Chain A
């Protein structure tokens, strides 16, 4: 389908496509098998300027928005969700600075992230706090010119690999979610260490692990916005990034669909390629329709975000929830189309199916997304009265 991309958007797509096909596809199985972080691939992505796609030009980026980011993420995800997660997580780590950072912080960090010289990460989740940000235990206490952080973040994407971390910590536990604040922590800050690296079901090329703050001291000007803004910073970051998760899902679904079609065209049973059987055709038709519908919704949401709309939580949530459910279904069906072959590690679809699951979980589970959508509907209904 034609989404009327501008010349620049077409360029972004082409570059990401080339990286996906020429650089990522040949190594994705090995990265998955060995749970190897794709450092070389991220260098390739950096060299192609894609890390700067949605960072403003004055900070060394390309000046695109959520939509441009989605185009890049979608294409990379078509080849490997583990790689695209590592890439997208850097953007997630940059958003708090981009949205709420002061000029000094933007000038210091954004050009480094935009060029890909430094990788970023975002850290909210803890063992007691996921969707419930109020349960955060990590604390930050102002002592003189420094904040002192204590606590442990878990399941942080790019943990140990990133250089710049946007961390949410409690500055005033009595205020619940309103007592949270956002900070920039750099790799190498005193008292900042990394815990164990997780072994995961999917996106195994990406690094997921613990951040351990033990009397970690950072200059007080590393706070993003001001004390108490942490929860808002986190929520707005997710509103911004969720279409990107949707784009990951669209890319992954497309990758699985492509594999299924190409297999069905060459697999001979009963003397004919299996794509000539209606049972297979219908499955492929549903997979393709679902993928395209997800793409249309993700693009619409991303363009809505970029239009300058004030409140886009609902659109973002819808894009994320619909596309990730679609990706789960499409990848599962792709394995089905390939049959026994699809279940084997030798073919990419079983990996795609394992990878898909995380999309329904991270950056707010799909249940939480539905909560957001429901609450917005309630609010909108109330306004209409």
Chain B
């Protein structure tokens, strides 16, 4: 099995704060991490490799510093890594991103399975995975919470839905986007970390990918951000003070008055 795992380097959104005055993101001191959902994709890829043999290739599109995320993926056990990086890729929306990743995957070569996290925590769009699959003309299943079986060119999976789950079967090669219920990611190994230090990582730009310059980056993006602003908030708020017994008494009184409780 050759499994390609697409990852994204993202700022740790738990650390991102907004400057109340300028309404801009404070990025100073915010760590870059591998998108947490992608860690489940990587883990699932490694588990499939452990079971069936083969190799796991990780692929990302990003600035040169995204290489550190690929090295991190290697420390977890990925065999090879490819960085799609070019100044022309900057500012890409999901449309241009999935085009570029699809070109990167074509460059990597034949594969059996592509795994992606269900979405990236910085954009939360969940559009790149399906976009890649469509461009490669392969079937995909989103929100996969379990891989039941792989064999005979077929994969059988469970898809998490709002009100339960669906069981589906699809032909290989295919693309899956996974949810966190699918597994519990491992920790990196010492040997993996040592290997990650020295492993060669291929870097491909527009030229190497033979990509259409009109379809990558900001130039190739169908959508455009025209405004950024802080989320609306603030309502009238009333503090309820006193000892816990008093606090609770007051609160229940107020809620009863509002007919919210009996």
Contact = CB atoms under 8 A, between A and B. Distances in A.
Please determine if A and B sit in direct contact within the complex, based on CB atoms under 8 angstroms apart.
yes
Interface of A: 7-8, 11-12, 14-15, 18-19, 22-23, 44, 47-50, 52-53, 62
A11 B193 contact: yes
Interface in B176-197: 186-191, 193-194, 197
5 contacts: A11-B194, A12-B190, A15-B188, A47-B186, A52-B190
B187 A62 contact: no
B187 A11 contact: no
A8 B194 CA distance: 8
Ordered nearest first, which 9 A-B pairs have the shortest CB separation?
A: A49-B190, A11-B193, A49-B189, A18-B187, A48-B189, A48-B187, A19-B187, A49-B191, A62-B190
Nearest to A17: B187
B84 to A, nearest CB: 27
B239 to A, nearest CB: 13
A50 B186 contact: no
Interface of B: 186-191, 193-194, 197
A50 B191 CA distance: 10
Nearest to A8: B194
Contact of B193 (A15, A22, A44): A15
A359 to B, nearest CB: 26
A15 B190 contact: yes
A53 B190 contact: yes
A76 B101 CA distance: 39
A12 B75 CA distance: 12
Q: Counting chain B CB atoms within 10 Å of each CB, which of A14, A19, A48 scores highest? A: A48
Contacts of A12: 190
A12 B193 CA distance: 9
Contacts of B189: 15, 47-49
Nearest to A23: B187
A334 to B, nearest CB: 25
A15 B197 CA distance: 15
A11 B194 CA distance: 9
B192 to A, nearest CB: 8
A11 B72 CA distance: 12
Contacts of B191: 49
A7 B186 CA distance: 22
